[in-house]
Every structure is written in structure tokens, then in C-alpha cells.
Amino acid sequence: MAEGKSAGVPLDLERLRELITLMEKHDLSEVDLQNGEQRCRLRRGPQNVSVMAAPQGYMPQPQAHAAAPAPAAPSTPAAPAAPVNDGSIVIKSPTVGTFYASPSPDDPPFLKIGATVKPDTVVCLIEAMKVYNQITADVSGTVTEILVNNADTVEFGQPLFRVKP
């Protein structure tokens, strides 16, 4: 679990990702940092990691049937799954949260079936505790299937897209 308290200073998500990586590398279950009024507390384990601060610059409009936010796993790029029988690759969710197909309700979706993706292509946003994580494809190919709907709650490792390399 991560807790952030800020006095007008946004939480540095890149620094948070680095801390999570270091926690995994050194098998730490908890880190508690404080700098003045800003505090960041991370815990690994059964409760996963959740972040309680929104990044500056992006806040999509809440959906009419918003579900209670779920704790988030560490925010790392989605790892492609092993190819299935037809040779396609599945892009899986790297975290628990709410799937958003577009940057905001008025914008077009990041992807449509038939779209070409590269490893650094943003394919969706997953929101957990008001933190919006950009999920990248991490593979090159053509999108053949979108496996979730906008505003669906997704689980860690849940298939999101199918891509033909």
C-alpha cells in the first residue's frame, strides 16, 4: 500500500516506479519516506500496492457507475503473454483498476481493431486510486481484438488486447 500526502507538490510517478523496482529487487516489504510534508509509504504483499495521489495533468471525467477503486499492483509495463494458437500475443493488465480506452470521455479511443502498435504505443489507461497509468503495448503488430470495455474493472494479468505480430 502506498500513501501520499502532499502540500501542493505532485507525486513523482517515475520516482515511485523506481522505488517499487528497488523494493522488488531487494525483496523489501515496506518503505516509508517523508520529506517535509510529503510522505510516501509503500507496502508489498497480500494487499498489493496502491497509490493515493493523482498525477498532475490528467483526470478523466468519472463514469456514471464508478466502482470503488481497487488497490493497484506495481505499475510496470504490460508483459506480453505467450502466443496463442493463431500466433497472436495478448497484452495483459499490469495492475488492478479501471480500464479507460481513451484519454478522456470526449477523445477517441487509443486503439481500434486493425490499428498498428509499437512497443511504446499507449494502448489504454488504467486508473487505481485516482492514479492514471499509461499502459504501453510492449509489442509490435496489429490489434486483432479488444477484450475489455471502457470503464470495466480489470484484474492484474487480465488480457486486454490481442495483437498479431
User: In terms of DSSP H, where are the helices of the chain?
Assistant: 13-25
Q: Render pLDDT for 7-40 as a digit per residue (tens, 0 to 9).
A: 455 667 777 778 777 777 777 777 777 777 777 7
Strand-by-strand arrangement of the 30-35 sheet: 3-5, 38-43, 30-35
Q: Is-contact 139 117, C-beta < 8 A?
A: yes
Taken as a whole, the chain contains a residue count of: 165
Q: Render pLDDT for 72-103 as a digit per residue (tens, 0 to 9).
A: 444 444 444 444 467 899 999 999 999 999 99
Can you tell me the distance from the alpha carbon of 81 to that of 100, in angstroms, rounded to the nearest whole number? Answer: 21
Residue range 89-164, CATH number: 2.40.50.100
Between the alpha carbon of residue 139 and those of residues 91, 92, 106, 130, 146, the distances in Å are: 8, 12, 27, 27, 15
| Residue that has been written with the C-alpha cell 517535509 in this structure | 36
Pinpoint the residues of the chain covered by CATH 2.40.50.100.
89-164
pTM assigned to the model: 0.51
